[in-house]
Structure 1
Amino acid sequence: MSAVAMSSKSPISSILKVSGTDIVDGNGARVVLKGAGLGGHMNMENFITGFCGSEHQHRKAMLEVLGEEKYEFFFDKFLEYFFTAADAEYFASLGLNCVRIPFNYRHFESDANPGVYLEKGFQALDRIIQHCSAANLYVILDLHAVPGGQNQDWHSDSGLNIALFWQFKEFQERVIKLWEEIARRYKGNPFVSTVSSFLCRKEIFQGTGEEKGLTCFPPQIAGYNPVNEPADPEHKNLIAFYNTFSTRIRAIDPDHILFLEGNTYAMDFRRFDTVIPNAVYAMHDYSFFGFPGFEQFTGTAAQKEKLRHQFERKVEFMRERKVPIWNGEFGPVYERNDEVTNAKRYALLGEQLNIYAETNVSWSIWLYKDIGYQGMLYVPPTSAWHQLLQPFLEKKAATGVDFWGRNDTEATKAVYEPIKQHFKEVVPEKFWNKRYPSPLWDMARHIDRAVRENLLSEYMNYEMASYFEGKTLAELDELAASFKFENCVQRTDLNSILQSDATKSAKS
C-alpha cells in the first residue's frame, strides 16, 4: 500500500478511518498524517507568547489592566491574526497535511455556567478549520485544557499542580458533554457536514464572497483528540473515561477517528488492556537531547539507540495490538544565537523522523508558531511585541519561571536549591517519590512546579499585564498583528527538514 500524497492538488475525498496498522482514506489508500500543533492560540502557553504560569491567570491580569472592551478587542485580534489563510497555505506548501488544533475548554463554556456553550468559541475554531480546509489540510481537534486540569502542568490551565479532573466525575461529565456538542457539529461525511454552511457565512468570514455563491470549504476533520497528556495517578480513571467517552461519542458520530493518548503525559500504556475500534493510539516523544541543561545530540551509536529504545518503549502497546501510531508531540528547542547547538538539535530531529518513517508513524511536531523558542515560525525581535515586552521577557528568563527549556543559572540555583535541600532534610528519603508523577518528576520538580512555575508566576503575570496599560486600540492591534504570518520569520532549517520528510512520504 502506498502513502497518499496530500497537497492542494490532491483533494481530500472522504473521512479517514483505521485499517489495521494504517490510517486510510475512502479509497483504502494509506494516509500518513504529518504536521504541527497550533499551540499558543486557542490554548495559550507561557513560553509560546511570553506570559507566566497559566492562561487564565494571564487573562485575569490582562482584564484588570485593559478593561473589558480593550481586553475583548485585543484577544479577538490575537485569535484572528495568529492563524490565517496565509498560514494554512504556507503549511501546505511544505507538503504537510495535518494541523493539530489545541483548544481550552474555557472558549466553549464558563465555569459559572457549565453546559451553556459559547458560540464565539465555535466561531474561532471554525475559522481555523476553514483556513485548513481551503488549503486541503486535515485537522485533529485537541482538547488541551479541561476543567480541573488533566495533568499537573501549566498547559492544562488549572493553576494547580494537582490534576483534579480525575477526582471529580462532574468535571469528566462536562468534558464528555462538550465533546458530544463538538461531535454533533462535525459528524458525518466532510462534504455534507452539518457545519458546512456555517463555515462560509458572510457575517463571520468577511470577504469570502457575496451573499449568493459563497466559496465554502467543507471541514476536513481527521478526528478527535479528547484529552491532551493525561496524568491519572491511579492509572484506571483514564481508561474508564476513554470507554465512556467512546461509547457516548460513537452514539452521535460513528465515523471519525479517536486519537487516544497514553497516561502520564502520553507515555505510559501499561494499564491499557483493550483496543477501542477506529482509534489511533497517541504518544509524545520529546528527547532530553533537544533541551538546555542535558547531554546534546552528536549522533553517536549509543544516542541513536537510546532514541529508538525510548520510542519503542512508548509504542509497545500499539505494536502488540497492531494499531496505528500517532506521535502527537515531539521536537527540540532552539537557541537564538547559537547555530552550533541548533545544528545538533536539527540532527536530533532528523534522526527521530527517520525512526518514525520506518513504520509510517504519523506525527505532529510541537509547534507551529511562537516568539522565538521552538516554532516553525516566530515573532522577530523587531516586532511591536518584543519591543514592548523585552525587559519583562529578560526578567522572566533570568528568574527561570518557565519550565519548558529552562536552563538554571547560578542565581536561580542559589534561590531554589536551599528550599529543595530543606525538603530533603525534613522529608524521609523513602517518601521522596511518593507524589505522582514519579519518577518522571522527583521532589525537586514538584517544588519548582508549586513555587515558581505556579505561585511566583501568578504574581509576575500582573507585571507583564502592566506593560499594556494605557494602550490604544490601534496599539493593541499592532501588538496582536506581531503574530501575523507576514510579520513572522520562517525557521528555514527546521522547515526544510520537515518538508524533506513530507516529500519522501508522498513519493513512497
Structure 2
Amino acid sequence: MATQLNRAPCEPLRVSGDAIVNATGERIVLKGTALGGYLNMENFITGYPGHENEHRAAMASVLGAEKAQYFFDRLLHYFFTEEDAEFFASLGMNCIRLPFNYRHFIDDQNPYEFKKEGFALLDRVVNICAKYNLYVVLDMHAVPGGQNQDWHSDSSLTKAIFWDFRVLQDQAIELWKAIAAHYRGNPVVCGYNLLNEPADPEHKRLIAWYERAEKAIRAVDPDAMLFIDGNTYAMDFTQFETVLPNAVYACHDYAQYGFPGYPLYEGAEEQKQKLRKQFERKVTFMRSKNVPIWNGEFGPVYADAKEPEAQHINDCRIKMLQEQLGIYDASQVSWSIWLYKDIGYQGMVYLDPSTPYMKLIAPMVAKKQKLALDFWGVVNKDGVKDVYSPFIEGLKKMVPEHLQKKKYPHIWTFDRHVERVVRESLMSEYIGWEFAELFAGKSMEELEELAKSFSFQNCVKRDSLNKTLREDSVKSNKKALS
C-alpha cells in the first residue's frame, strides 16, 4: 500500500469568509469521499432492490431476526476498517463524509429514547479516522418520513412526508442535539451535514427547519460547523436569503456525461463550458454571500468491464471527473466524491466478483438490471420497454398535458414519477423478497463469509479513479506549500 502523505492531526475548524480555516486562520480544503452503504444502505451499493428497511425486514423473514442481525452487524464490521482508512489516507485526501440513517438511533415504535448502538457505530468510524488524521462530516441521510422522494431517504414512499409533520421534524432536531452533545469538542468531527438532499415542495419549511436546527444545536455545541444542503436535492438555493453562522453551504454536482444513456464526455470546449455553467449555477448563492462551498456529492457511474466499449466509456468519465476537479480547484472548493465502496458502479474500491457475496447475488443484480429496478444502476431500460412504454402512454392520456409537470420535483418528467412509484418502489419490494430468499438456510459461518466479502482485502481498487484523486491531492498540497 502507498505510504500515507504527511498530515497534521485533526484540529478544530471554523468558517471565515468564504473559507474553512483552522485556529491560525490557514485555509483548509476538505477533499474526501462518502461511506455510502454503511450506516445508510442503498440498493445499488450493496445489491438489494428497493428500500433499506424493507430489505432488512425481508432478510429477517428468511433468516430469522437473530441471524439477519448477525449478518448485517458483520457486514458493517467489514465495510470500513483501519485498512480502508489507511488506503484512503494514502491518497492524500483528508475527509470522510459519514451518511447515517435515523433508524440506527430511533425506533419508530419507541421514538423518545435513542439507541446506544447507533452512537457506537458512529464512534467506530470516528475513532478509526482519528488514527489516520481524517476529518469526519456526519451526514443525516435519512430522517423519519423521508426528506426527499428517493430510495436513499428510506421512507418506502415516493413522497417526502417529513415536511408535512412537525413531530417528525422535531425528532430529527432532537437527534442532532444528542449527536452534538456526544461529539462536542471532538476535533475529528468537523461538522454536521444537517440533511442530505432535502426536497421540500414549498421551500419555506426547509429554511425554517434549518433555522430551528441551528439554534438547537448551537445551544449544545456552539463551535462545530454546519453543512447546509440546498433544496431539491442540493441543487436549488433560489429561496435562501440569509446565511447561518459558521455554516458551509453544500451543492451536489452530478453531471449527465457521467451516466449511462447520455453523451460521452470527449473534452470538447462546449462540454467544458456546460460543466462550468452547471456548477456556477448551483453556487450562485454561496458566491453572493461569500460563504464556503462544499460539493457534497459528485462522480460518474463506471461501465462494467463486460460492457461493449467499457474502457473507452470509463476513460471518458475519468476525463470528465478531471475537468470537474479542475473547476473546484480553481476556487478552492471543498468536496466529497460519491463514493468509497460498492459492488462495482462508482466505488473507489469495489467487491471482487469472485467473492461469496457477489457470486450469490450476481443473478439478482442481473435481474434488477433487466427489470430496471435501481435508478442508479440501470444501464438501459430496453428490457422493460415493451411493458412500461404502452402503460405510461396510456396513463398520460388520462392526465391533461398541462398537469403532467405539476408534481414536484418539477424537473422530473411524468415518466420519471411513474418509474419511481411502480418500478423503484412497488416492484422493488416484490423482488426484494426474492433477493432475500438467496440467503435461505445459510449458517452463521456462511453468513460470516458472505459479510467478509466487503472487507478491504476482498475488494478491487479502481486504479484510474484513485490515481486521479491522488494526483489532485498532491497538486493541492504543493499549491498550499508554495
Distance 1:478 1:81 in 2: 11
CA 71–330 in structure 1, closer or farther in 2 if over 3 Å, else same? same
Structure-1 residue corresponding to 2:379: 407
Q: Which residue of 421, 436, 461 corresponds with 1:490?
A: 461
Note the 1:179-258 alignment, pairs <5 A: 179-188=176-185, 190=187, 220-258=188-226
Whether 2:43 is the aligned partner of 1:26: answer no
What amino acid does structure 2 have at the position aligned with 1:290? G
What amino acid does structure 2 have at the position aligned with 1:285? D
Say whether the 8 Å CA contact 1:8–1:135 is kept in structure 2: no
Distance 2:287 2:107 in 1: 40
TM-fit CA distance, 1:52? 0.6
Structure-1 residue corresponding to 2:273: 305
What amino acid does structure 1 have at the position aligned with 2:426? L
What amino acid does structure 2 have at the position aligned with 1:477? E
TM-fit CA distance, 1:442? 1.1
Distance 1:411 1:311 in 2: 34
Give percent identity, aligned residues only.
55
TM-fit CA distance, 1:27? 1.7
Distance 1:291 1:13 in 2: 35
Which blocks of at least 5 consecutive residues in structure 2 are unaligned?
A: none
Say whether the 8 Å CA contact 2:300–2:346 is kept in structure 1: yes
Structure-1 residue corresponding to 2:334: 362
Structure-1 residue corresponding to 2:412: 441
Whether 2:169 is the aligned partner of 1:172: answer yes
Structure-2 residue corresponding to 1:134: 131
Q: Which residue of 363, 368, 371 corresponds with 1:391?
A: 363
Distance 2:186 2:458 in 1: 36
Distance 1:158 1:410 in 2: 28
TM-fit CA distance, 1:407? 3.1
Q: Secondary structure at the match of 2:112?
A: coil
TM-fit CA distance, 1:405? 4.1
Structure-1 residue corresponding to 2:246: 278
Say whether the 8 Å CA contact 1:304–1:351 is kept in structure 2: yes
Whether 2:294 is the aligned partner of 1:319: answer no
TM-fit CA distance, 1:396? 1.0
Whether 2:422 is the aligned partner of 1:451: answer yes
Say whether the 8 Å CA contact 2:100–2:142 is kept in structure 1: yes
Distance 1:493 1:308 in 2: 23
Whether 2:263 is the aligned partner of 1:292: answer no
Whether 2:304 is the aligned partner of 1:336: answer yes
Q: Which residue of 425, 449, 456 corresponds with 2:397?
A: 425
Say whether the 8 Å CA contact 2:98–2:137 is kept in structure 1: yes
Distance 2:112 2:318 in 1: 45
Distance 2:112 2:178 in 1: 10
Q: Secondary structure at the match of 2:71?
A: helix
Note the 1:67-146 alignment, pairs <5 A: 67-146=64-143
Structure-2 residue corresponding to 1:11: 8
CA 292–13 in structure 1, closer or farther in 2 if over 3 Å, else same? closer
CA 115–307 in structure 1, closer or farther in 2 if over 3 Å, else same? same
Tell me the matched-pair count.
472
Say whether the 8 Å CA contact 2:146–2:161 is kept in structure 1: yes
Q: Secondary structure at the match of 1:230?
A: coil
TM-fit CA distance, 1:395? 0.8
Distance 1:330 1:347 in 2: 14
- Per-residue Cα deviation, 1:256-315 (whole angstroms, up to 9, x for no partner): 000000000000000000010100000000001000001111111111000000000000
Q: Secondary structure at the match of 1:234?
A: coil
Distance 1:445 1:481 in 2: 36
Distance 2:461 2:172 in 1: 36
TM-fit CA distance, 1:410? 2.8
- Backbone CA RMSD of aligned residues: 0.9
Distance 1:380 1:96 in 2: 24
Distance 2:328 2:393 in 1: 41
What amino acid does structure 2 have at the position aligned with 1:300? A
Structure-2 residue corresponding to 1:201: none
Say whether the 8 Å CA contact 1:287–1:307 is kept in structure 2: yes
Distance 1:505 1:410 in 2: 43
Q: Secondary structure at the match of 1:149?
A: coil
TM-fit CA distance, 1:238? 0.5
Say whether the 8 Å CA contact 1:142–1:228 is kept in structure 2: yes
TM-fit CA distance, 1:10? 2.7
Q: Which residue of 472, 480, 483 corresponds with 2:443?
A: 472
- Per-residue Cα deviation, 1:31-80 (whole angstroms, up to 9, x for no partner): 10001010011000000011011100100100101112211211110111
Say whether the 8 Å CA contact 2:351–2:453 is kept in structure 1: yes
TM-fit CA distance, 1:406? 1.9
Distance 2:5 2:112 in 1: 38
TM-fit CA distance, 1:368? 0.2
Say whether the 8 Å CA contact 1:115–1:177 is kept in structure 2: no
Q: Secondary structure at the match of 1:471?
A: coil
Structure-1 residue corresponding to 2:57: 60
TM-fit CA distance, 1:376? 0.2
Q: Normalising to structure 2: TM-score of the pair?
A: 0.97
Distance 1:81 1:407 in 2: 28
- Per-residue Cα deviation, 1:318-357 (whole angstroms, up to 9, x for no partner): 0000000000000001011111100000000000000000
Distance 1:9 1:143 in 2: 30
What amino acid does structure 2 have at the position aligned with 1:381? P
Structure-1 residue corresponding to 2:145: 148
Distance 1:357 1:189 in 2: 28
CA 8–137 in structure 1, closer or farther in 2 if over 3 Å, else same? farther
Say whether the 8 Å CA contact 2:81–2:128 is kept in structure 1: yes
Say whether the 8 Å CA contact 2:260–2:380 is kept in structure 1: no
CA 185–118 in structure 1, closer or farther in 2 if over 3 Å, else same? same
